[in-house]
Every structure is written in structure tokens, then in C-alpha cells.
Amino acid sequence: MPLRRIALTTLVAAATTIAASPAHAAPRNVPAEDREVVFTVEGTRTYGTLHVPAHRSGQRLPAALLLPGSGPTDRNGDQPPVLTPGTLAKVAAALGEDTIITLRFDKYGSGKTGLGAYTGHPEDIDYPAFARQAAAAYTLLLRQPETDRRAVSVIGHSEGAMTALVIADEVRPRPAGLALLQPQALRLLDLVALQLHDQIARATEAGQFTPEQRRVIDAAVDRAIGDLRAHRPVDTTDLPAPVAQLFQSFEGVNRRFLDTDDAIYPPDVARRLHPGTRVLLTCGTNDPQVPCATTDALTATLRRAHATGPGRAALQGIDHNLRDAAHPDVLAADALAALREFTSRWRHGR
């Protein structure tokens, strides 16, 4: 996917101006800072947060672009007021403690950015628009004076992990590493079908459906997926009302996005990865949205693409938002350990 030329503007809130130190003076410490940034992508002003950890004056730091998951998910990894796990905000805080710069932003449809240039015609937005927005953010991160351009990674959560793969071969310089956290590793509608079949199976075990009803509903789900891909009207006759409503939403304003997202098979994208790229892929054993088995093909492709680094980490008891049941308000210790193993090369100057 060719990248368009993107005009970038950055507004820095409460920035500290640091006078040049005499050559003989010892480096002075610069305090940690959160900067509100704005960059323009194809007519849309995109808002984000750049966190620069405390560092020595003149020091160049490793940096990471954080990409959110699907839907109207904002820079913090939230869809307020209903879903507020704060996944990306917590990742940024953890990386900041390890002296890694982070940039996270409100993508189209979320936070301060909103629909931007798509206001009034959201049906025109497609998945590549989100990838171009992410690429623009990557360029902005590279241009920060504190960024070590040799140590910039992209960390994506869920759909954001797929976006990380998509832009990795398009941006220059290429990312030194990719962290794919609970990634969308299948075509979108294949993942939707898997999730729906799992939910129907659980409902049957709970006595909500008979085995025969389950068989009919499963067949109706597969038929609806086929109808969507063939651009036929979706027959929702045999679907439970919530599932029927889901498929009806796919046929509405979200149709263009759905088609362009579903066209991407992440293992195909991973084949283009630059050899030697450091990669972490996580999956959680308590994650019904992205079961570990859905990442098998992507993991194998990354290996064949000669990716280096931690590879896949299967996190025991971890849910989609990198939490365990005992500590739902923080990132799980195993998830933090996997991230720190991924970033260790740059943190330790290797």
C-alpha cells in the first residue's frame, strides 16, 4: 500500500525550552514530560500524547509507537464510558519507567480526533486510512529531538498489532521491532465467526440452546459470513437477535471498513517483514477474542521471515487486555515481563 505524502504539524503543550549547555558542562537532568501533540493526516487533525521520560540533556532514547485495537478505541486503549481498561496508557507508563519514549493517539472515530475529514460521511472510511494515520504518527515520533531513530518500535494491541505489521514495510526507516499484543492474526470475518461459534457453544453448554439449535445457528453464521464476502444480502432468519444485529451493522455504515479489513490476512503481510526485525507476539490463555491457536499461522510465518527476538509468549490466565483475574486494574506481571524482554536490547544499549 503506497503511502501518501503527509504534512505533519506538532503542537507542544507546556514544553520546556532548554538552553544549550557549554561544551565543558556536565549533562543536566531533564524531567519527564507529557506533551499533547497534533499531527495532520489527509485533512484530519489527529491528537495524541507523547511521553518523554526523565533523561540526560542531549540523550537519545528508544521510542515506541502504541496502536489501539478495533472500534472507536482512544489513545489510552479505552472506549468510554463502557470499556475503560486503559491498556495503552498502562503500557506507556511501564515503558516510561524503562526510559522509553511513547506516542499514542486518538485514531479516527475516537477521543479528540473524532471522524475528522470523514465527519458527515463515515461510510467512506476504510482500513487503509487507519494505516496511513499510524504511519504519520510513526514519522512524528521519529522527528522528536529525543528519539533514537535506530531504536524505534511499534507496539500494537489487537487490530493495532495487524496495523503494526502493515506499516512496518511501508515506513522508513523501518521499525527496529514490533510487539504484537493479542494480535488480530486472521482475516476479520474469520475471527468474528470463530468468536461467534465459541459464544454459541458456551450458551449451549449453559442450556440456552439445544444441540440442534446450535447446529442451525452455527450454519446460519457461516452462511452470513459467506453472504457478506459475496456482497449478497445477509439472511438473518436463523440467527439470535444480538447476532442478527451484529451482521446488520456490518452491512451499514461500516461496510467499506469491513471489506478492506477483511481483505488482509496477517500472515501474508508478515512475509514482507524485513529479516532481523525483533518481534514479540503475545496471546493469553484467558482471551476468548484472540485464542492462542489463532496466532499459529502468523507465528510460523514470522519464523520463516527470519524475525528475531522473543517470538510468541503464551501468557497463562491473561485476558485480551493483558490482565489476570486476580489483578484486573493493572497489567499482568507476565505481560510486563514479556514487554521488558522485548525492549531489553534498546534499554541496555545492545
Please tell me the distance from the alpha carbon of residue 311 to that of residue 303, in angstroms, as a whole number: 8
Contacts of 349 (CB under 8 A, 6+ apart): none
Query: For residue 23, what pLDDT is reported?
Result: 43
Q: What is the pLDDT of residues 65-89, one digit of tens each?
A: 999 999 999 999 999 999 999 999 9
- Say if CB 157 and CB 85 are below 8 A apart: no
Query: In which band, very low, low, confident or very high, does the pLDDT at 28 lie, cut at 50, 70 and 90?
Result: low
Q: What is the pLDDT of residues 100-158, one digit of tens each?
A: 999 999 999 999 999 999 999 999 999 999 999 999 999 999 999 999 999 999 999 99
Please tell me the distance from the alpha carbon of residue 235 to that of residue 254, in angstroms, as a whole number: 18
As separate numbers, helices (DSSP H) first and strands (DSSP E) second, the chain gives 10, 10
Q: Look-up: residue for cell 499482568?
A: 332
Cβ contacts of 117-126, under 8 Å, gap ≥ 24: 117/42, 117/43, 117/44, 118/44, 122/253, 123/252, 123/253, 123/255, 123/256, 124/256, 125/256, 125/257, 126/256, 126/257, 126/259, 126/260
- Measured from the Cβ of residue 10, the count of other Cβ atoms closer than 10 Å reads 16
Is residue 345 predicted with pLDDT exceeding 60? yes
Q: Look-up: residue for cell 468510554?
A: 80
Q: What kind and span of H or E run contains 225? A: helix 211-229
Q: What is the pLDDT of residues 267-310, one digit of tens each?
A: 999 999 999 999 999 999 999 999 999 999 999 999 999 999 99
Closest CA to 301 of 259, 350, 265: 265
Is residue 318 predicted with pLDDT exceeding 90? yes
Grid cell digits, residue 106: 486518538
Query: In which band, very low, low, confident or very high, does the pLDDT at 10 lie, cut at 50, 70 and 90?
Result: very low
